[in-house]
Structure 1
Amino acid sequence: MADKLIRVSNLKLTFIVDNCIEWFTKMPPGFSSELARHLSDNPPLCERTGVPFVDLENYCCGAHGFSVLIETQAGNETHSVLFDTGPDSKSIIRNLQSMRIPILNIERIILSHWHSDHSGGLLSFLKYRNEVGSTHSVSSSSQTKASSKVVVDLHPDRPIARGIRPLNVGKVIGRLPEDPSFSAIEAAGAVVETHAEGHVVAGGTVYVSGEIPRVTYFEQGLLGAVRWVEGPGGAEWTPEPDIMDERYAAIDVLGKGLVIFSACSHAGIVNVMRDAVTVFKRPVHMIIGGLHLGGPELQPRIAPTVNFLSDKIKPSPTYVLPMHCTGFNAKVALEEALGEGCVPAGVGITVNIEGDLKDDDRLFPPTIDD
């Protein structure tokens, strides 16, 4: 699979849904905030002063979930895919509108795993795209994309229901909202593709993993997770800490290396990185997404995770963007270990990563000190 992933010359990321909004922290080159974008792109003006309004009514909102728009360029070919859709029907649409995303260009949605904080906006996105395609005047290229059905890339093992049973409580305290069904996705005009194995999409520029090998001793999944199982013997909640349907995505940027998206890291971000560098033999430029280190029961995992990112894998990632379910304590520990390499990204932030062909031969496979 590694030889089928095409290295890209340019990668643009736009964070559509995340728990956090960050406007004020100094960002590395290539990062820009929603605030700067809105104030420079035809903002509404105050008639009295002539100064642009900070139009908060139409800015992005935070929500407990994750979604990122991934735009790749290799040669003269560009592709646009959406990785996850956030937790609800409202936040993704508001934020797509706020960021003025050309929604008709999005050709594929990749769902990282079957949890509603990642799948909750899927059907509303499809409905919104249909509405935009039917009511707006668009260019001929966008017309072609609008007339093509969006592909929704899913793991085949969709659960009936998932819930949480805290270890110190002993009973199921709640279940997550229903994930979209295959039939509902198709009824919304999309094409369902199911993949349990790793594969490349977007003209070969985006890799979607298969099931992630669980080899790191301190990464033990989502404690207290349960799944509703129905069978001949009855129906019951069954422990399911591993969330084996979770997948990561990776892009290989010329002269930079791998950019890895791990939306929730139930598999463990160390397991994700081990798998990615084993498959591709390339250094890691950037880690993005939820690192699954929030909550008191996961605090013991923070130190060994940070140690791996900062000391065990060499070279270390240039940037780590801890988002969604990472948790405050883990972000603090990452900033202490990585300094400016830990970037407090959030919803509304755009990242441009430019490849460099002449530097590509200088990249060597990373080593892991076990």
Structure 2
Amino acid sequence: MSFPKFKSVDKLTITFLVDNSIEWMTKLPPNFFHEVPQHLSRPDVPRDDRTGVPFVDLENYCCGAHGFSALITQVEGEEPHLTLFDTGPDSRSIIRNVEALQVPIERVERIILSHWHCDHSGGMLAFLKHRKVNCPPDTAPCVADLHPDRPLARGIAPVSAGGKVIGRLLDDPKFEQIEALGGVVEKHAEGHAVAGGAVWVSGEIPRVTHFEGGLPSGVRWVEQDGGENGEWVKEEDIMDERYAAIDVVGKGLVIFSACSHAGIVNVVKDAVKTFSRPIYMIIGGLHLAGTELTERIPPTVDYLSNQLRPAPVYILPMHCSGFAAKIALEEAFGEGCVPAGVGHKVIVDGNPETERMMHAPAEK
């Protein structure tokens, strides 16, 4: 069986720019770093003249928001690549947090949008504008890696409300708006490698499980008669959703699944089938929050902890994962379930010595 061309990386650094949660005090595993120590260790941190102690400058620390964004910095050989996976829900949180964490925005080569929902796309135009205004004119343009099927509108029609559409999401960025701010639009429906060939962006995620049924409240506006008429249609399967994966030498795959509308088990199954590599870390929204999705938690946790072999070393349930899912994952994985949040930094160092000892995962 042939696998897509996909380079392994020697080192991976992940910085969470947007997430629902701010977590400063929980014990973290080795190579996971809280936000506050990162600020206090900087040479330019403001200090109190009287005591000589650095200020905990909360005015300029990260804020939480209902959405997700991760800065991926991977090193393959000597050349680092910076990729932004999603941009959060709004124009304010992404810019505040980029500035708080001193992100070198001129080096961000690409924005990967996981799917067309505004809690993931809402900060894209603000980021591109911030980059355009604050970078030298000769800065290389930033690519916006997008699924071509951009919806006219998406809404929320909860089962608990009898399927009534109770609200619509704000517009996702338009292709022409992205280009007007200097972004280079790339439309991809198929899987492809970016960032020097070391970040894999999936194509359509196959739906193969029996218990992961998409987004029960999802609806989409569809126009008819040349736009003169339209209607809301049910859209449980968010088929434009994509995940990203990086293979770290001697560790395995690090998977970014921003919302897991396809189901995180479907995501993991596709990654294992595509690359025949073990899963080292799962990051992002698992979409198990809320009463409509509670029944999916036990089979999801059972698959990840008991059926997938080897099991992931770390799971970082973020954004839309929900409290009940986090508790269940902690019971199954212990300290391998990490309470990550905005401002955290994670470093994954490759290990060439263990690479030759690794075996592809197999399911029971």
- TM-score with structure 1 setting the length: 0.95
1:285 & 1:28 partners in 2: Cα distance?
14
Residue 231 of structure 1 deviates from its aligned partner by 1.9
Match of 2:154 among 135, 138, 162: 162
CA offset digits 1:173-211 (Å, max 9, x no partner): 000000000010011111100000000000001000001
The separation in 1 between residues aligned to 2:5 and 2:349, in whole angstroms, is 21
Give the drift of 1:168.
2.7
What amino acid maps onto 1:347 in structure 2?
Answer: V
Gaps (5+ residues) in structure 1?
A: 135-142
* 1:272 counterpart residue number: 267
Q: Where does residue 68 of structure 2 map in the other structure? A: 66
Match of 2:195 among 193, 202, 206: 202
User: For residues 329 and 104 of structure 2, what CA distance do their matches in structure 1 show?
Assistant: 34
How big is the shift at 1:232?
2.6
Matched, 1:182 2:182: no
Query: Counterpart in 2 of 1:316?
Result: 311
Distance in structure 2 (CA, Å) of the matches to 1:209 and 1:3:
11
User: 2:106 touches 2:139 (CA, 8 Å); kept in 1?
Assistant: no
Moved beyond 3 Å, runs of 4+:
none
- AA aligned to 2:5 is K
Alpha-carbon distance, 1:365 to partner = 1.1
Partner of 1:33: 34
Q: Output one character per residue of 1:80-112: Cα deviation in whole Å (capped at 9) or x when no partner.
A: 100000000000000000001111000000000
Distance 1:168 1:339 in 2: 34
Query: Which of 97, 104, 113 is 2:99 aligned to?
Result: 97
Question: What is the DSSP-based 3-state SS (H/G/I as helix, E as strand, rest coil) of the residue aligned with 1:317?
Answer: coil
1:249-288 alignment runs, 5 A limit: 249-288=244-283
2-structure distance, mates of 1:46, 1:175: 47
Counterparts in 2 of 1:334-349, with a 5 A limit? 334-349=329-344
Number of equivalences? 359
SS in 2 for 1:35: helix
Please state how far the C-alpha of 1:363 moved relative to its aligned partner: 1.3
The amino acid across from 1:39 in the alignment is L
Report the counterpart of residue 83 of structure 1 in structure 2: 85
Of residues 346, 351, 356, the one that matches 2:346 is: 351
Kindly state the Cα deviation for residue 3 of structure 1 after the two structures are TM-superposed. 4.2
Q: Alignment partner of 2:160: what SS?
A: coil
Aligned-partner Cα distance in 1 for 2:172–2:330 = 34
Aligned to 1:114: 116
Q: How far apart are residue 12 of structure 1 and its match?
A: 0.6
What is the CA-CA distance between 1:328 and the residue it aligns to?
A: 0.4
CA distance in 1, matches of 2:122, 2:108: 18
Superposition pairs for residues 350-369 of structure 1, below 5 Å?
350-369=345-364
CA distance in 1, matches of 2:354, 2:3: 20
